[in-house]
Structure 1
Amino acid sequence: MFIPDKLHWAADRLRAGRRVNRITVRDFLGIFGAERRGSIKVQAIREALDALNLTTDPDFELTWIDEPIWLRLKDGAQVAAAPNITIEGIASDAELEGSATSPAQAAVPAEPPLTSTAPETPTRSEIVDGLSGDDPTFRIGSLPAANKALIAISNDAPLNKAITLMLQYDFSQLPVMQGERDVKGVITWKSIGLKLAMGQKCVSVGDCREEIRIIDSNRTLFEAIPTIVEFGYTLVRNQQDRRITGIITASDLSLQFQSLSEPFLLLREIELHIRRILGKKVTESDFQILEGAAPSNRKVSQIEELTLGQYIRLFQHPDIWTKLALSIDATEFVQLLDQVREIRNEVMHFDRDPMTKDQLDTLKRATRFMQHLYEFIPSH
């Protein structure tokens, strides 16, 4: 079992009654050399935490990946955090020398810790009220946009200030708020245009505002879609303390669905290209190469029935490679497909986090390579 030194250090510090600074989930994963919360990696992290009698608050698997979490002892014997202190990252070893200082002073590391620049945001345990850590539902509060600091304007602000902000940030709408819980409405380009077109007074923000659209953060993404499609946005509200935590627009929704669907579309294209390369050059008799290595005892009779791993085994066989007559390096080609296979396995496990940039770049690189082959390989 791999337990990072930083985790050992944190456990010792908590058992000694000292505090450990917060850290974002992303940076916490980095301690274990991970970028995403895959099922295997999550299990390994939980085993390491259990071995040291530690837990995270809120749960690192459930929480938005850029939200801060705290390390706690399972028996609850920890020092409470000093109020209103915003210090991120697990504290450096140099803090051990500051035991004579006040809690607030001790929280400031003497050397750079594992840093996190995440703003104060509602915790995922607040966002998803009463749900267990294994909740598989995709909720609106899990979107990054639902957890970003909101730019708003007061009801009595002059209209030209609202217009300036909307132009500066390229906004289509601007929430009208008197506080983080007191929402008066929203001002949009449409609401401004309608007032002016009707010759009505439109001097202050209050003159041009319209009804706001709000959805609680524990609602599902699919429940929010109709509102976002119809009105172009929705505010997201923490259902426990009624704070507005962010705004999700149609643009955010499009980017979210792109991030969810793009890996599947790329993998689909790559596999279809592989089938075309093998095509009629591989016959049913060639499938005997796979006997003894197949994931099941089923008899394969056509190319569409093969797994990606079986495709790779065919490419690795000298007789098949000779039959394909490809003027490319077999080793490099197989290595690329094996990287794709590993990514595909992660994607099909439906982990909470989107794939990393490197993984997505690998799929895009493989797709471009296959497209080049498609242009030069005859279809028959």
Structure 2
Amino acid sequence: MSIESSVTLRVGHLPSLQQQNLVSVVPEDNVRRAESLMSLHCFSQLPVMPDQFTVIGAVTWESIAAARMAGREDSVTCAMYPAEVVSVDTEMRQVHSVIQRSGFIFVQDEHGVVDGIITLFDANMAVEKLTGPHLLIGEIEWRLRNILDRAYERAAIQHSSPNGRLTLGNIETSFRSRDIWESLGWRVDQQVFVDELRKVREIRNKFAHYESGWPEPLPDEECQRLSGFLDWLRRLNPAG
């Protein structure tokens, strides 16, 4: 099953990134300072930055242990691993493999200033909280369009939309049609269905129509409404 996506999740959309004050060390700092900062802030890594635009590596608990075993722990440059930096505009799917491999990635803003970090935990939470509702909405729209396509065929009614694809508003209007509704053969009250579809459309509009950036995560009750409506559609039309 292919579900269309109209929203792209980018690095700058992650809520955790928007709440950060990046802590770093400079190349001249010793390992003890890095350890102290990591311990104080409960961090697992710190960027090594000669200036606010440049990351030359990252100090981690693992890199410090490796440096100690090799007898080279004078400065943080002797106890760091390579680190990657991406822009806030980078799509999350493009950096997922890097985060999976290293556990983190540093982020620079639109002016080139490195001022954030994304960890594997941050990325996983973003997928769960931000893309979850989008996937629900996508499948709801996909199923409703398929249901209507077959309903229009059975009712022998022509339909069209400006861009060749029904919007949720078009879909809601279609389900209000008596001919379309009767062609479905569902033993469901039409008004109850349309009222619930209207509420889903309002949630969808709030989630997808935003001025900038990724929308805020939906409240739990709205996610439950989307999930409940999708489950209802699956029962009413198991074939999709």
Matching of residue 323 in structure 1 with residue 185 in structure 2: yes
Q: Displacement, 1:269?
A: 1.9
What secondary structure, in the 3-state scheme, does the structure 1 residue paired with 2:198 have?
helix
Cα deviation for residue 214 of structure 1 reads: 3.8
Residues 223 and 258 of structure 1, relative CA distance in 2, 3 Å threshold:
closer
Distance 2:110 2:167 in 1: 45
Residue 44 (structure 2) aligned to one of 138, 154, 172:
172
CA distance in 1, matches of 2:147, 2:81: 58
Deviation at 1:150, TM superposition (A): 1.0
* 1:255 CA drift (Å): 4.7
Corresponding residue number in structure 2 for 1:286: 155
Equivalent position of 2:212 in the other structure: 352
- Does residue 237 of structure 2 align to residue 371 of structure 1? no
Distance of 1:138 and 1:371 partners within structure 2: 25
* 1:175 partner letter: P
The alignment status of 1:195 with 2:97, answered yes or no, reads: no
Amino acid at match of 1:316: R
Q: CA, structure 1 residues 364+277, in 2 after alignment: closer, same or farther (shift >3 Å)?
A: farther
- Report the TM-score when normalising by structure 2: 0.61
Map 1:208-247 → 2, pairs under 5 A: 208-215=79-86, 217=87, 220-221=90-91, 225=95, 228=99, 230-237=101-108, 243-247=113-117
The question of whether the paired residues in 1 share the 8 Å contact of 2:136 and 2:230 is answered with no
1-structure distance, mates of 2:94, 2:145: 39
TM-score, normalised by the number of residues in structure 1? 0.43
Deviation digits for residues 231-289 of structure 1, max 9, x if unmatched? 3333334686x753222334444455566644442123213444677797x4625253x
What's the secondary structure of 2:215's corresponding residue?
coil
- Look up the match of 1:265: 135
The one-letter code of the counterpart of 1:249 is T
Residue type of the alignment partner of 1:295: S
> Shift in Å at residue 352 of structure 1?
2.6
Higher helix share: 2
Distance 2:197 2:146 in 1: 15
C-alpha distance in 2, partners of 1:287/1:360? 40
The structure with higher relative contact order (CA 8 Å, sep 6+) is 2
Structure 2 spans left out of the alignment, 5+ residues: 1-7
- 1:161 is aligned to 2:36: yes
Partners of 1:140 and 1:224 within 8 A in 2: no
Query: Percent sequence identity over matched residues?
Result: 29
Structure 1 gaps of 5+ residues are 1-136, 299-304
In 1: Cα distance, 2:146 partner to 2:13 partner: 39
